[in-house]
Amino acid sequence: MDLTGNDRQRIGNCCADPNVSPNSEKFSFVTESDQPFQAALFTSNLDGSNLLQLTPFSFGVAVKQDWAPDGRHLVFSKNGIGHPPGISANIATIRPDGTHLRLITHYEGGDVQALVGSYSPDGRWIVFRLEDHGLSGLYKMRPDGSHMRVILPLSNFKPRSIDWGAKPSEDEESEAEE
């Protein structure tokens, strides 16, 4: 639909967490299957054309996913939907054409989960929730998985719907410097 709420078009039985690409030409979304722990990441043009499935449903893509600010990658959590027993959720990146899939966390065994939030506005960080043996924390890391840093340490608090937020406008940056 357009910004006035007109020109609405249905693109099928889908979509969780639709995100418009930085250039406003495409959007990404997650679609769940009828099978447990089954969900896939898709992209499409804004009008619903050129639908492309980026991951198989067996990846169990968690609902939350995000575009890199430069539009060259998407970040998502593999095995993040429902946490299949004995399998850990891990953060991955993929190009919008479905190439260059890369796991950037490598947890195993199901006791530790990494669940993506979003890219920082400058694309230098990814914020995410780390779950470790029943405790949760808020962390950030570089898009290659390096330089992991604690924002909120592990505790019983479970951050959800994590989003870095918008890049400050030039006016906001000027006010912060004063």
DSSP code string of 5-56: S-S----SS--EEEEE-TTSSEEEEEEE-SSTT-EEEEEEETTS-S-EE-S-
Q: What is the pLDDT of residue 3?
A: 59
Domain 16-177 class? mainly beta
Specify the range with the lowest mean pLDDT, choosing from 7-11, 28-32, 121-125, 166-170.
7-11
Q: What is the pLDDT of residue 148?
A: 97
Q: Bin 84: left if φ > 0, else alpha if -120 < ψ < 50, else beta.
A: beta
β-pair partners for 77: 91
Whole-prediction pTM: 0.86
Specify the range with the lowest mean pLDDT, choosing from 3-7, 25-29, 35-39.
3-7
Q: What is the pLDDT of residue 11?
A: 56
The DSSP output letter for 178 is -
